Amino acid sequence: MATMTQYTQVELLTLHGPEFRRVSTAPPRPPTEDEIPIIDLGTIDCGFQARKDIASQVKAAAENTGFFYIKNHGIPEELLQRALSKAQAFFAQTDEQKELVSNKKSTHADGFHGVGSTQVNKTETRDRKETFSLRYNPANDPTISNPEDLLADSSYSYGNDEFLWEGTSHIPGFRETTIEFWQQRLTLARKMIRIFALALDMPEECFDSVTTNPGADGLYVHYPGASETVSANTETDVGIGSHTDIQCVTLLWQDMSGGLQVLSATDEWLDARPVPGTLVVNIGDFLQRLSNNRFKSTVHRVYNRQTTPRYSMPFFLGFNPDSVCEVVPSCIDEEHPALYEPISCGKWHRNRFALSQGKPITA
């Protein structure tokens, strides 16, 4: 006898109050090749037609699950492994040492956030992970020739990462590797936003002027092994709870542990298993907004059910904090009027991030 699919609901944080999504109670299943495709970026620097071809694959993925893998992305394996070793060295320290770079020392939430310090979904446990975050600083951006000018602009204060490097100076190579890895991901993310522009049937450079000094957060994340946590066997015991990403594009390196789950277009959890040599790419809420909901900002979460630790290294690209952006013209017609008001990515990010931290929303 065929079994009926059973559904439950997941409650999400949004700036307009809680939003509910239907979710199958079946265990996660492997995705089909169309649900989370592997897209080859090997020709991304080989001319316009090659990028159009990549963009058409990205468009299909963005309109389907909103998640895909990229291979031949250009970030050397040696750098990925070196960054991972720095992340591991950082998290292996005592809490006291990690607190030297506590996010509380910063106005930008960069630095160290301990296990359980966030809860991105209030119907699940607090997030059983610890993170180290590096925010955008023009001094680290290879495309900015006069970072002093941006740093002197009093209307926006960038991440001041000096305290991060002072508090980690005893880990050899931590600063150099962390900045080099952040820079390479920023370069790749800027290439990807051009691909997304093409995928939206817009000129490929249309987002260039809003990504000159963008939101760009590079994280190291450690999910402790299940034996180290209290009750790692219930459905709601999460490494990071069910959520959507806030900004435009996420690039994620994950180790071979597994545990990343992605909600499919048919409301089932998909197992976004690690694929060697790839990064995972997904769309955030701000890009979904700009695309008038054509591109999907997809619900995902992480479990670490193994006794061994899981490490991941996400990178979140937004737009320039002060650039007010509206739904792109190619996504508006008579049948599809703009669903959203223009808003700056900085304000959007600040408010959504405050919400996920349980802090007040500013006007």
Ligand X SMILES: O=C(O)CCC(=O)C(=O)O
* Binding residue for ligand X, selected from 55, 134, 197, 252, defined by CB under 6 A: 252
Question: Which residues 289-328 are close enough to bind ligand X by CB under 6 A?
Answer: 300, 302, 312, 314
- The C-alpha atoms of residue 43 and residue 192 are separated, in whole angstroms, by 13
Q: Does 287 bind ligand X (CB under 6 A)?
A: no
CA distance 129 to 193: 29
Task: Classify residue 205 by its DSSP letter.
Answer: T
Instruction: Establish if 240 lies at the interface with ligand X (CB under 6 A).
Output: yes
Tokens of 336: 């599809």
Taking CA atoms, 75 is separated from 146, 253, 294, 322, 354, in Å, by 26, 11, 29, 29, 32
Using rule CB under 6 A, residue 260 touches ligand X: yes
Helices (H), the chain: 48-63, 77-91, 95-98, 147-152, 162-166, 174-199, 285-290, 345-356
Q: Does the footprint of ligand X cover residue 249 (CB under 6 A)?
A: no
The nearer residue to Fe ion, 101 or 238, going by C-beta atoms, is 238
**Pattern of binders to Fe ion over 211-240, x per CB under 5 A?**
------------------------------
Q: Tell which one of 124, 127, 130, 245 touches Fe ion (CB under 5 A).
A: 245
Nearest approach in angstroms of CB 86 to ligand X is 17
Select from 39, 70, 199, 221 the one that contacts ligand X (CB under 6 A).
Answer: 221
The angle, 0 to 180 degrees and rounded to 10, between the axes of the packed helices 174-199 and 77-91 is: 120
Binding partner at 327 among Fe ion, ligand X, none, C-beta below 5 to 8 Å by kind: none
Please report, for residues 10, 136, 138, 146, 321, the alpha-carbon distance to residue 151 in angstroms, rounded to integers and kept in the order given. 41, 11, 7, 9, 13
The distance of closest approach from Cβ of residue 166 to Fe ion in the complex, given in angstroms and rounded to an integer, is: 29
Q: Shortest Cβ distance from residue 302 to Fe ion (Å)? A: 8
User: Binding residues for Fe ion, per CB under 5 A?
Assistant: 245
User: Binding residues for ligand X, per CB under 6 A?
Assistant: 221, 240, 245, 252, 254, 260, 300, 302, 312, 314
